[in-house]
Amino acid sequence: MSVPLPQKLLSRADADGDSVALRHKTLGIWREYTWNDYADTARLVGLGLRSLGVGQGDKVAVHAENRPEWVFADLGAQGVGAITVGIYPTSPAAEVCYLLAHSEAKVVVAEDEEQLDKTLEVWDQLEDLAYVVVIDPRGVRVLDNPRILTFAELLELGRAGPASDFDESVAALSDTDVAIIVYTSGTTGPPKGAMIDHANMHAAFTDYDAEFSLGPGDEVLSYLPLCHIAERLITVVNGISAGYTANFGEGGAAFANDLREVQPTFFLGVPRVWEKMLASVQVRMNDASWLKRRNYQYWTAKGRQFAKARMSGRLRWSDRAISALGSFLLFRALKERLGMSRCRKALSGAAPIAPQVLDWFWSIGVPVREGYGQTENCAQGTINPVGDVRIGTVGVAVGGAEVRIAEDGEILTRGRGTFAGYYKNPQATAETIDEDGWLHTGDVGFIDEDGYLTITDRKKDVIITAGGKNISPSEIENRLKVSPFVREAVVIGDRRKYLTALVGIEYDTVGDWATRNGVTYTTYRDLSNKPEVRSLIDGVLREANREFAQVETIKRFEFMTVELDHEDGQLTATQKVKRAAITEQFEDLIEQMYR
């Protein structure tokens, strides 16, 4: 039987109460929270919420950046039988309104004045919302409103109730109770609320534990939004279940520094993060001395020779000796600079990644394995197994899952991680989970004779050219984004005679290139419009085109002269491109490429 997460937290506090569970960096200082602190604060939050009228099945929304109060609110709400709903910090007021209204949230825990203002702007449209709790009240001028209280005041309310009430509520939880609602990214329509129960989360931990075997002494950096199922599993579910330490850095522009300070032993990165790391090294090497460049080129070439052996677990003793020398002369310092010096296990997921990026990390000794899953199966699909990593695939089915390919090429999964359905949307649930329990993922791909899954693309994104050729745009886009100069690429060509692309430059790296080459500029738009930059990106496309069949090559491109943003509706909260929004916004540019 699965154990509900709040019960695991109380058990963890009983067993390892004085060990460090969380760290949080604010104003340059790291503060530690023990497992006792974690459990005690979650208990106070739960009792405080109960005093506000929150009970079994009620929804409590959390609208904040990653920080300890996020997880205290999460576990406190779950402990009294409520359901936690995460809201992305970047969500604009209109999206906040939709999520709070659709989820029927009774309480929202807002981080600060900025997030509070979004709720205040739409509160008159939210008939179910009774209270707002503000974590950081600095600058907030409406605290005299009896329906708005601070996080500290919520804890005080909790202190008025007996601790045993919370513990009894936790003991009464069932593994089939819905614990959290995770809203999908909404690339094609309004976000749908995926209901995840305690059994789903326990299954996810069981599968992760079998693959990674993390425990006390391991460290992770919590930086992806906790609304995202992957970070929720890594920071909260697996953190509590395995007993390792989750670190909350200052985030944002300080992410790279947070990573260097923490040096996690396990790291989950989305493709954008791995690509950015690689680009940062490439830029530094462009500015390095001749000797440093030659040292880098020599040892990364050597590393690539050993990478295949590392993936298969067959590195010879002579190779290990040479690798040790390479570590002394390059890799150790390079990994420390990236924040990967202690990283024994790493995972890439949430979106496809170019094989070239993974090859590079394996060449420097960072063992990044690619996996596959989605919110609806609690991120439990496939993973590349230790000792037989095959780059270009997302591996084989995890222990608690089955994977097969439907007749139309769609990837189907089935297992203990399959969600409980979409909140208030039985039709969408029935369309997603068939009568035999198979989850229709919306992705297309194929499985080879050894059971390794390769993802082709999202089913709805596959391009069918005017000549009838099926093309996966993501494969081409990911290849273009291997370049340190390309941040975004959107391939166009459905029902067209040839393929084109909208390209967004990587401002930092192209700016560095421009400075070194005497190209002056003022803004992102100005830099994008420089003829020298067009020639630079034209070279990137020509190089990429050599790797594809003629029908898959990009014939023309234009620049998106604005940086894509979630608040402007061009990206989802997880930084995925909304293709429909992009094609509508840049319709004139697209048509220009076909004249």
Tell me the domain boundaries of the chain: 5-210+222-238, 263-371, 373-460, 462-593
What are φ and ψ of residue 506, in 5° steps? -85, 105
> Which of the four pLDDT bands, split at 50, 70 and 90, describes residue 492?
very high
> Which of the four pLDDT bands, split at 50, 70 and 90, describes residue 1?
low
Helices (H), 481-594: 507-516, 524-528, 531-545, 579-585, 587-593
Give the tens place of pLDDT for each residue, 152-168: 999 999 999 899 999 99
Task: Collapse the DSSP code of 372 into the 3-class scheme (helix H, G, I; strand E, B; otherwise coil) and give the result.
Answer: strand
Mean pLDDT of 258-269: 96
> Ramachandran region of residue 379, left (φ > 0), alpha (ψ -120 to 50) or beta?
left
Q: If 0-12 CB within 10 Å is exposed, 13-18 middle and 19+ buried, where does residue 535 land?
A: exposed
- Give yes or no for a contact between 70 and 64, defined as CB atoms under 8 angstroms apart: yes
Give the tens place of pLDDT for each residue, 358-379: 999 999 999 999 999 999 999 9
Give the tens place of pLDDT for each residue, 264-320: 999 999 888 999 999 899 888 888 899 999 999 999 988 888 888 888 877 788 778
> Ramachandran region of residue 288, left (φ > 0), alpha (ψ -120 to 50) or beta?
beta
Tokens standing for 69? 């109060």
Amino acid 307: pLDDT? 83
Pairing of strands 83-87, 105-110: unpaired
Report which of residues 326 and 390 the model is more confident about.
390
Mean pLDDT of 102-123: 96
> Which of the four pLDDT bands, split at 50, 70 and 90, describes residue 570?
confident
Residue 577 has pLDDT above 90, yes or no: no
> Ramachandran region of residue 347, left (φ > 0), alpha (ψ -120 to 50) or beta?
beta
> Which of the four pLDDT bands, split at 50, 70 and 90, describes residue 35?
very high
Secondary-structure class of domain 373-460 per CATH:
mainly beta
Mean pLDDT of 77-91: 95
Whole-number mean pLDDT of the chain?
92
* Superfamily name with CATH number, domain 462-593: ANL, C-terminal domain (3.30.300.30)
What are φ and ψ of residue 227, in 5° steps? -70, -25
Closest among 548, 560, 547, 543 to 484, alpha carbons compared: 543
> Which of the four pLDDT bands, split at 50, 70 and 90, describes residue 186?
low
Give the tens place of pLDDT for each residue, 190-244: 889 999 999 999 999 999 999 999 999 999 999 999 999 999 999 999 999 999 9
Give the tens place of pLDDT for each residue, 547-561: 999 999 999 999 998
> Which of the four pLDDT bands, split at 50, 70 and 90, describes residue 354?
confident
Rounded to whole angstroms, the Cα distance separating 383 from 397 reads 7
Amino acid 179: pLDDT? 97
Amino acid 187: pLDDT? 58
> Which of the four pLDDT bands, split at 50, 70 and 90, describes residue 545?
very high
CB within 8 Å of 165: residues ≥ 6 apart: 47, 50
Mean pLDDT of 172-182: 96
Domain 5-210+222-238 has CATH 3.40.50.980: yes
Mean pLDDT of 98-115: 96
